[in-house]
């Protein structure tokens, strides 16, 4: 690991002034940053510890929204009664993430900013070709093992999946990300690779995430997060879905929020499925048909073709589970 200078910021202004320098990296829980530094993907000249900044560790729910500070720990949010009531999908996604030790240490801001688990990206010594790490160097994954790579939102430059769970729920429930004094929709925060896979988040130099805000809704209160993975714990999603649903008095679906994880380069909102079912009586045939729209536009490779079958089934299962609960 390269040597780096360490600064602990006491105020937001001090943190911003320090991180504006290229070569600076924010240190929150450190569970991802230190891994990336060890494998030489991150080579910061200085790290700026933000864990003592005041005011970023609060959880607050009111009639309008659920507010989560960027320094709230994953375990804290997963177990918080206000989070579980306002948006169970968020609490479930966090509880199903990583390990107990990591959840105790890691922050929500750091979770959002985590980087892809593409094995080629994380092994620069063996695979120098990675457009995300070194723009213009190529993509070692193309033609390699692509079981964990994306089918949606890809480009010729990069096919890496977004690895996070929390982010999927934020995109599903129209959350906004607070970046100091400005706000941005979560769906706009995560960038598809295009020809600049090295740009993953819509943050400018000197900016940091300060809070997340999930608008209050009946669908968020009646939500769930389902995660498929190769082993039952301590594993990233091979596929996941955040889902929330509301029914009108006549039984039709009046609101539906859906997003997929583990299948796209960014958390993937399923507008087509939502639009097909909103205003409809949710018969099993209608739910099955609509769920097939989850993979609209997907481009599979030999290694990840199984997700074409799995994704619609997982979406269908989530909707049926919620229908059972709100019948």
Ligand X SMILES: Cc1cc2nc3c(=O)[nH]c(=O)nc-3n(C[C@H](O)[C@H](O)[C@H](O)COP(=O)(O)OP(=O)(O)OC[C@H]3O[C@@H](n4cnc5c(N)ncnc54)[C@H](O)[C@@H]3O)c2cc1C
Which residues bind to ligand X, rule: CB under 6 A? 25-33, 35, 70, 74, 97-98, 102, 105-107, 109-111, 113-114, 164-166, 208-209, 236
Q: Which of 37, 90, 159, 167 binds ligand SF4 (CB under 6 A)?
A: 159
Residue 131 contact partner, candidates ligand X, ligand SF4, none, CB within 5 to 8 A by sort of partner: ligand SF4
Nearer to ligand SF4, 143 or 285 (CB): 143
Q: Which of 141, 214, 277, 315 binds ligand SF4 (CB under 6 A)?
A: 141
DSSP string, 130-177: BTTTSTTS-BTTTTS--TTS-SBS--SS--PPP--SHHHHHHHTT-EE
User: What gap in Å lies between CA 43 and CA 149, rounded to an integer?
Assistant: 25
Q: Which of 33, 90, 113, 139 binds ligand SF4 (CB under 6 A)?
A: 139
User: What gap in Å lies between CA 309 and CA 312, rounded to an integer?
Assistant: 6
Cβ proximity of 12 and 210 under 8 Å: yes
Candidates 125, 129, 161, 133; CA nearest to 143 is: 129
Nearer to ligand SF4, 121 or 189 (CB): 121
Positions in 177-206 near ligand SF4 (CB under 6 A): 197
Nearer to ligand SF4, 107 or 116 (CB): 116
Residue 140 contact partner, candidates ligand X, ligand SF4, none, CB within 5 to 8 A by sort of partner: ligand SF4
**What would the 3-class secondary structure string for 228-249 be?**
ECCCCCCCCCCEEEEEEEEECC
* The one segment of 90-98, 101-109, 125-133, 250-258 that binds ligand SF4 by CB under 6 A: 125-133
Q: Is 123 left (phi over 0), alpha (psi -120 to 50) or beta?
A: beta
Q: Which of 18, 42, 50, 140 binds ligand SF4 (CB under 6 A)?
A: 140
């Amino acid at each position: 690991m390269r040597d780096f200078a360490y600064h602990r910021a006491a105020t937001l202004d001090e943190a911003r002034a320090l991180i504006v320098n290229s070569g600076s990296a924010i240190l929150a829980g450190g569970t991802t940053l230190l891994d990336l530094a060890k494998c030489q993907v991150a080579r910061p000249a200085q790290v700026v510890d933000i864990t003592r900044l005041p005011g970023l560790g609060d959880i607050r729910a009111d009639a309008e929204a659920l507010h989560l500070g960027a320094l709230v720990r994953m375990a804290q949010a997963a177990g918080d009664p206000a989070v579980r009531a306002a948006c169970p999908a968020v609490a479930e996604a966090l509880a199903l993430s990583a390990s107990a030790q990591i959840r105790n240490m890691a922050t929500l801001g750091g979770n959002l900013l985590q980087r892809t688990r593409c094995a080629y990206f994380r092994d620069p010594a063996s695979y120098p070709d990675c457009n995300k790490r070194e723009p213009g160097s190529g993509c070692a994954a193309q033609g390699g093992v692509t079981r964990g790579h994306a089918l949606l939102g890809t480009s010729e430059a990069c096919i890496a999946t977004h690895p996070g769970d929390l982010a999927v729920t934020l995109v599903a429930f129209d959350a906004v990300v607070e970046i100091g004094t400005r706000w941005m929709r979560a769906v706009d925060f995560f960038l598809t690779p295009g020809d600049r896979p090295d740009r993953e988040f819509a943050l400018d130099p000197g900016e940091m995430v300060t809070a997340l805000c999930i608008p209050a809704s009946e669908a968020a209160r009646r939500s769930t997060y389902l995660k498929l993975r190769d082993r039952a714990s301590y594993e990233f999603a091979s596929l996941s879905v955040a889902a929330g649903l509301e029914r009108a008095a006549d039984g039709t679906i009046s609101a539906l929020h859906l997003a997929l994880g583990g299948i796209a380069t960014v958390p993937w909102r399923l507008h087509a499925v939502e639009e097909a079912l909103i205003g409809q009586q949710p018969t099993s045939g209608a739910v099955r048909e609509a769920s097939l729209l989850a993979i609209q536009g997907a481009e599979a490779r030999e290694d990840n073709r199984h997700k074409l079958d799995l994704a619609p089934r997982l979406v269908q299962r989530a909707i049926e589970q919620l229908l059972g609960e709100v019948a």
